[in-house]
Structure 1
Amino acid sequence: MSDVRVLVVDDDFMVARLHAELVGSLAGFVVAGVAQTGRDALDAASRLHPDIVLLDVYLPDLSGVQVLEELRAGGAPQADVVMITAARDTETVSRALRLGAVHYLVKPFALADLSDRLRQVAAARQQLASDATLAQAEIDRVFGAVRTPTPLRGLPKGLSEPTMRLVVATLRSQDAAESATELADRAGLSRVSARRYLEHLVGMGWVEVTLKYGAAGRPERLYAWVRD
């Protein structure tokens, strides 16, 4: 498939540049354009035909929700919209949801969260690029690709977000499956702590476990990142 084209919309020049740099760093993604006002965003969307729009709510002329409404009305009906904003009031969130935003990221957020959202949307678009009839399981995967939360959301008691970020980044940097002990050594964590985080990721479906059998004793559990 061709690269996923992303339009970045944010009134803060530095934030827009940061998000554009992130998009440009991801394999399979390109920056289609950058806009800092609602009107510019609508004009860019109609000219550039982006696949994804990263859309702020607080813009100097139109609100991001108004922009989303006009995009859905014909400005770029095929573009998937990811809201990126400090707005967290229920009216804004509910309107964005009803108008078809596929994700809603509240600022400030980690760039890893944005990367995950972009990959999820791209995975869903790829699945839908085929003309084939989809089975229920495939439809479930498509909806899951844009609705599944990141592994940083809803952590159980005793697991912290900074440590989870460290575990995820460490595991994703390794091509081959590795044990909790190996990951713990690379991340500077205890083996027990590393295994707790890894097992939580396994339960969420972000990490896959394989068993390595030795000459005697229990098989060793090896972990590999599979969500991307």
Structure 2
Amino acid sequence: MIKVLILEDDPMVAVLNKQYLKEVEGFELAATANSFHGALEVIKTEDIDLLLLDIFMAGKDGLELLQHIRKKNEWKVDVILVTAADDVDSIQTALRYGAIDYIIKPFEFERFNQALTTYKEKYHWLKKQNSFKQEELDQKILYQNKKKHTSLPKGLTRNTLQVIVNAILEKGEEPFSTEEIAEKVQISRVSVRKYIKFLKEIGLLGERMTYGSVGRPVYLYVNKELTKSTLQHFF
């Protein structure tokens, strides 16, 4: 398991980050902290693999902690920024000090999941290697190639995709669930879920996770770039 430290001084955001972390397989929350010194004590005493780091907080900020970690060069901690800081200086400073990803608040679970999943793949792949060939390094670490879908995945059909897309487009900018679309098009939730997953994977739908009255996560989807023209080559 990849051990994670969350540094976040906003209690509500810290809870959200912890909930999101639970949804991504392969990660374990080692500790949370709400200050520079609190996080530093955890890093000194525990084996932390990944730090989810906020910038804005009272006292010394997150970038100062990142710089301190790198200058000391004692702790092998990877860092992903999760912060409202969207200015160029903060982003450049974080990247110069080795941040492996940068998530700007507010963010959706999809972006969080993407960052951690990508990190997990690299983390485990590096653990298995002693040396690299340039092609392997480029593909796995430096220039990861994203698969471009030129045809529908096995099991999906053009006609059903078109029906589901039409139903989603009717929702406009309103968030929707798999169940809502399944009820509207009279297709099973399992089937609809496959099509929504495909549309999310190619970047046309966004995903949000909320918690219902019984505490279970509920996934809602929003239209990001979905139009009939963006899927024209599938019809």
TM-score (norm 1): 0.65
- 1:179 aligned partner, one-letter code: T
Pair 1:179–1:6, CA change in 2 (3 A): farther
Q: 2:157 aligns with which of 169, 179, 182?
A: 179
- 1:201 aligned partner, one-letter code: I
Pair 1:96–1:189, CA change in 2 (3 A): same
Unaligned 5+ residue runs, structure 1?
Answer: 152-170, 203-220, 222-228
Matched, 1:86 2:84: yes
Hey, what does 1:4 align to over in structure 2?
2
Q: 1:23 aligns with which of 5, 21, 24?
A: 21
Pair 1:144–1:5, CA change in 2 (3 A): farther
- 1:142 aligned partner, one-letter code: I
Aligned structure 1 segments of 4 or more residues deviating by more than 6 angstroms: none
RMSD of aligned residue pairs (Cα, Å): 3.2
Q: Which moved more, 1:113-122 or 1:180-189?
A: 180-189
Unaligned 5+ residue runs, structure 2?
Answer: 170-194, 204-233
Once the two structures are TM-superposed, the CA of residue 185 in structure 1 deviates from its matched residue by 4.2
Identical aligned residues as a percent: 26
How far apart in 1 are the matches of 2:74 and 2:20? 23
Pair 1:38–1:179, CA change in 2 (3 A): farther
After superposition, the C-alpha distances for 1:66-124 in whole angstroms (9 at most, x for unaligned) are: 01111223376321101111112221111111000011111111121011101111111
Pair 1:63–1:105, CA change in 2 (3 A): same
How far apart in 1 are the matches of 2:73 and 2:22? 24
After superposition, the C-alpha distances for 1:44-83 in whole angstroms (9 at most, x for unaligned) are: 1222222111100001121110011112233763211011
Q: Which moved more, 1:101-110 or 1:130-139?
A: 130-139
Hey, what does 1:164 align to over in structure 2?
none
The count of residues paired between Structure 1 and Structure 2 equals: 172
TM-score (norm 2): 0.64
Pair 1:183–1:74, CA change in 2 (3 A): farther
